[in-house]
Amino acid sequence: MNRLGSHSPRNSKKRLYGAIALLVAVNVGIVAGCIVLKRYRFDSVVECDFTLYIGREYTADSVFRQMEGTVAPAKINRLRRLTRTKGFPETLRTGAYLITPEMSLVDVYDLLTTGNPVPVLVTFNNLRTVEDFAESMARQLLPEKAEFLTLLNDTAFCREKGFTLATVPAMLLPDSYEVYWNTSAERLLDRMAREYGYYWNDERRAKARAMGFTPVEVATLAAIVEEETNVAAEYPVVAGLYMNRLRRGIPLQADPTIKFALGDIRIKRILKKHLQIDSPYNTYKYRGLPPGPIRIASKRAIEAVLNYTHHNYIYMCAKEDFSGRHNFAATLAEHNRNAARYHRALNEHKIMK
């Protein structure tokens, strides 16, 4: 019988084998862990840049569903396991997150959990109304259309920016802007107000003053010019024509303002009955500029007004070939001949309204 504390050769061997087995298991675990870690840390998630958009109250499942079709299912499953292992916020910070081919699963996990979104480029052009603008922004950014419209239809908000409900379209200058996808409607419109201030620098304001105009009045005339012709090369000529009319006290008689007053831009033929509408936008009835822009004027149209062509035209009529171009005239007799050719073409094509 062995004394207490003594070790038999058999027990010693068992303990030695056990220690070796434990060491082997630990090493195998370490190796396996390294392999898994390498896969998670160095295996790229996407083959090309992919932007992930996280809206309000998005969860991990919302993110994984958005990845489907772009990220391989196996990689999505590994990312799921990683989020279960390391933890994931119940809701994520809103924003646009750029995932690049250089990023591993761990990088993507860190990006989403630390909340480091990237800015996006929003673009708008060829829009008529503030409603069109709100709809365009809602398609490109997180806020809803109603959030933009609530502010743009708020008298106090517009007054704070230096505009009225009628003139606020002048604040919206078509271009491309870099903003965060989750920016609020109010912050986006604050940005538009700042961009308006940057655009209307001393040089442009001086040109407007030389014309006897404010920046808003320039935008108001630019909107009419842009609606009058589809040919940008004609903008300065049309602007010069309206400047001639304003200086001579002749009503602008701009057909697009009648369409705006009637609320129907699809009208192709302005009739006498249309001219009877009592609206401050009826430039056949009221002299001078209307109360505000009839559309969101482009920068090109604004520049055309600021640098209008000097000539003696006071009449214009669409060309009878429906090219979108115009015949210009300095006398009523010449204009009547142009108008007769155009109306004859309308009749031949049975365009009655």
Q: Give this prediction's pTM.
A: 0.83
Structural domain includes residue 306: yes
Residues of the chain under the 50 pLDDT cut: 1-7, 16, 19-39
Do both 192 and 259 map to the same domain? no
Structural domain includes residue 249: yes
What pLDDT sits at residue 141?
Answer: 97
What pLDDT sits at residue 9?
Answer: 54
State which residues form the domain around 336: 202-348
The whole-angstrom separation of Cα 210 and Cα 48 is: 53
The last residue of one of the domains, among 64, 80, 114, is 114
What pLDDT sits at residue 246?
Answer: 97
Q: How does DSSP assign 18-72, residue by residue?
A: HHHHHHHHHHHHHHHHHHHHHHHHHSBS-SS-EEEEE-TT--HHHHHHHHBTTB-
What pLDDT sits at residue 2?
Answer: 42
Structural domain includes residue 34: no
Structural domain includes residue 42: no
Sign of the Cα torsion 265, 271, 275, 277 reads: negative
The whole-angstrom separation of Cα 257 and Cα 290 is: 8
Do both 239 and 317 map to the same domain? yes
What pLDDT sits at residue 346?
Answer: 85
Structural domain includes residue 353: no
Structural domain includes residue 101: yes
The whole-angstrom separation of Cα 107 and Cα 97 is: 12
The last residue of one of the domains, among 99, 114, 129, is 114
Structural domain includes residue 25: no
Give the tens place of pLDDT for each residue, 133-147. Answer: 999 999 999 999 999
What pLDDT sits at residue 322?
Answer: 86
What pLDDT sits at residue 90?
Answer: 82
The last residue of one of the domains, among 142, 164, 199, is 199
Do both 88 and 215 map to the same domain? no
Domain count, the chain: 3
57 backbone φψ class: left, alpha, beta (φ>0; ψ -120 to 50): left
Do both 134 and 153 map to the same domain? yes
Do both 222 and 336 map to the same domain? yes
